[in-house]
């Protein structure tokens, strides 16, 4: 029997109230993501990309529709259970890196393992190994302000995968990077997917990133308007 999809979203609806105006950010979105896929969610600003990632990551709840993650219904979990589930099974990458400035690269990567109760020696070993995998073996003890934008995003990627999650959700991960570095970051995500089988869902409007995606889901005005499973352009 085939395993359930990592993400199985059906009819997701999300509304926000802005003053007296109700904005429908997502309108009946269906999306299945299989284990080991790399899916880019594309679309212009305001199309609902970040909202969709927040729902997939259980950082927010839909107003209608259902979501299952690896066969577990998100609605069946209370807030504490969702927090523990995220910590154990999901990784996150953000446009602004979200690194702690007083910690070294290695210490930032250790954080998910510390939260999971992993011992100090194993935390250090695993953080060093994954930083080496992303090409930062010479920058382990550097703080974020001693790293370039591309290096900081590599640290953030290492932090997202160090606990071997089911899936990594990346929200505009190249938004603060130049075009050449953005391509390098996407190529790194693809390489990590091939080496580890980790599922990646990447929200972006960066055309260079979109072109490298093996599957592209396009949102417009909160709706899925295209789902291209063909080869990347």
User: Tens-of-pLDDT digits for all 233 residues of the chain?
Assistant: 778 899 999 999 999 987 888 889 999 999 999 999 999 999 988 899 999 999 999 999 999 999 999 999 999 999 999 999 999 999 999 988 999 999 999 999 999 999 899 999 999 999 999 999 999 999 999 999 999 999 999 999 999 999 999 999 999 999 889 989 999 999 999 999 999 999 999 999 998 889 889 999 999 999 999 999 755 44
- Consecutive H or E run containing 82: helix 79-89
CATH classification of the domain holding 187: 3.40.50.300
pLDDT tens digits for 180-196?
A: 999 999 999 999 999 99
pLDDT tens digits for 88-100?
A: 999 999 988 999 9
Residue 18 located in a structural domain: no
Number of domains in the chain: 1
Residue 198 located in a structural domain: yes
Q: Give the Cα separation of 40 and 218 in Å (integer).
A: 8
Q: Give the Cα separation of 28 and 219 in Å (integer).
A: 12
Regarding beta strands 64-69 and 72-73, do their DSSP bridges make them parallel or antiparallel, or are they unpaired? antiparallel
Q: Give the Cα separation of 91 and 82 in Å (integer).
A: 13
Residue 211 located in a structural domain: yes
Residue 17 located in a structural domain: no
Q: What is the dihedral of CA 215, 151, 205, 203, to 10 degrees?
A: 50
Residue 223 located in a structural domain: yes
Predicted local distance difference test score (pLDDT) of residue 232: 46
Residue 91 located in a structural domain: yes
Q: Give the Cα separation of 99 and 144 in Å (integer).
A: 7
Residue 29 located in a structural domain: no
Domain of residue 217 covers 36-65+78-227
């Amino acid at each position: 029997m085939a395993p359930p999809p990592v993400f199985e979203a059906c009819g997701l609806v999300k509304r926000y109230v802005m003053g007296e105006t109700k904005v429908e950010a997502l309108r009946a979105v269906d999306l299945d993501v299989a284990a080991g896929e790399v899916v880019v969610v594309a679309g212009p600003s305001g199309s609902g990309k970040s909202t969709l990632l927040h729902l997939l990551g259980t950082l927010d709840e839909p107003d209608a529709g259902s979501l299952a993650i690896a066969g577990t219904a998100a609605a069946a979990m209370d807030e504490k259970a969702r927090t523990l589930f995220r910590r154990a099974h999901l990784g996150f990458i953000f446009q602004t890196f979200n690194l702690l400035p007083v910690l070294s690269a290695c210490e930032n990567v250790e954080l998910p393992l510390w939260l999971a109760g992993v011992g100090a020696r194993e935390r250090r070993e695993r953080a060093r190994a994954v930083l080496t995998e992303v090409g930062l073996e010479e920058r382990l003890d550097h703080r974020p302000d001693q790293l370039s934008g591309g290096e900081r995003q590599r640290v953030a990627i290492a932090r997202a995968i160090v606990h071997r999650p089911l899936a990594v959700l990346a929200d505009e991960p190249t938004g603060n990077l130049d075009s050449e570095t953005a391509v390098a970051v996407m190529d790194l995500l693809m390489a990590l997917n091939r080496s580890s089988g980790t599922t990646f869902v990447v929200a972006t409007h960066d055309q260079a990133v979109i072109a490298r995606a093996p599957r592209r889901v396009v949102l417009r005005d909160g709706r899925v308007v295209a789902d291209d499973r063909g080869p990347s352009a």
